[in-house]
């Protein structure tokens, strides 16, 4: 993860979130308040949008959306029991946990965007970066070829202006070789 979201920012966001939204599961609200009260745990909390391939994920929904109220995923096991999630968090305080929140207008919420991180297990970003790098290399190569061809045309024009037949023939041969 390239982002560093500070504990204070996460606390402020959770407080804002709980002040502005009502959760479908009241125990989930209690769990968020518990996380907010413990800086060491909050350091391990990451708010994410993409939950793919993560070892420990919590999904929480508000009453204003049609989603499951609460889900806790750990190592491919799933439960909707908040107490089991709490016990796991309490017993494994050094494990990172990824929280996905579902609420109205989350995609346009600046508060949510401020704490949102990318999924470290999602290789989509790496694939996109590799494609962008490849495209940049292709563009640079094409630009370099175009510049060399432009310079060669200028040198051919200069040979014609100077009536230098040998140089003209050498340069046109070089141009023909580049085009093949």
Helices 7-20 & 26-36 angle (0-180, nearest 10): 150
pLDDT at position 52 is 76
Tokens of 168: 């003209």
Mean of pLDDT values over 58-64: 95
Q: Indicate the class that CATH gives domain 7-121.
A: alpha beta
Domain extent listing, the chain = 7-121, 127-179
Which residue is listed with tokens 């909390």?
Answer: 45
Put the strands of the sheet holding 45-48 in their side by side order. Answer: 77-79, 70-74, 56-61, 97-102, 45-48, 116-117
Residue 13 has pLDDT above 80, yes or no: yes
Tens of pLDDT along 114-128? 999 977 666 565 656
Q: What is the pLDDT of residues 24-46, one digit of tens each?
A: 999 999 999 999 999 999 999 99
Span 127-179 CATH architecture: Irregular (4.10)
Mean of per-residue pLDDT scores for the chain:
89
């Amino acid at each position: 993860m390239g982002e560093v979201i500070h504990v204070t920012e996460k606390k402020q966001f959770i407080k804002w979130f709980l002040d502005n939204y009502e959760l479908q599961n009241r125990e989930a609200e209690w769990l968020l308040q518990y996380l907010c009260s413990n800086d060491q745990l909050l350091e391990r909390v990451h708010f994410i949008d993409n939950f793919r391939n993560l070892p420990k994920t919590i999904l929480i929904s508000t009453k204003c959306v049609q989603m499951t109220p609460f889900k806790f995923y750990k190592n491919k096991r799933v439960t909707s029991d908040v107490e089991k999630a709490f016990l796991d968090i309490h017993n494994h305080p050094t494990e990172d946990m990824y929280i996905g929140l579902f609420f109205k207008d989350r995609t346009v919420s600046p508060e949510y965007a401020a704490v949102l991180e990318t999924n470290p297990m999602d290789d989509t970003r790496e694939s996109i970066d590799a494609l962008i790098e490849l495209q940049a290399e292709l563009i640079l190569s094409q630009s370099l070829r175009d510049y060399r061809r432009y310079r060669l045309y200028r040198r051919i024009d200069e040979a014609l202006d100077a009536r230098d037949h040998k140089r003209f023939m050498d340069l046109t041969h070089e141009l023909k070789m580049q085009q093949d």
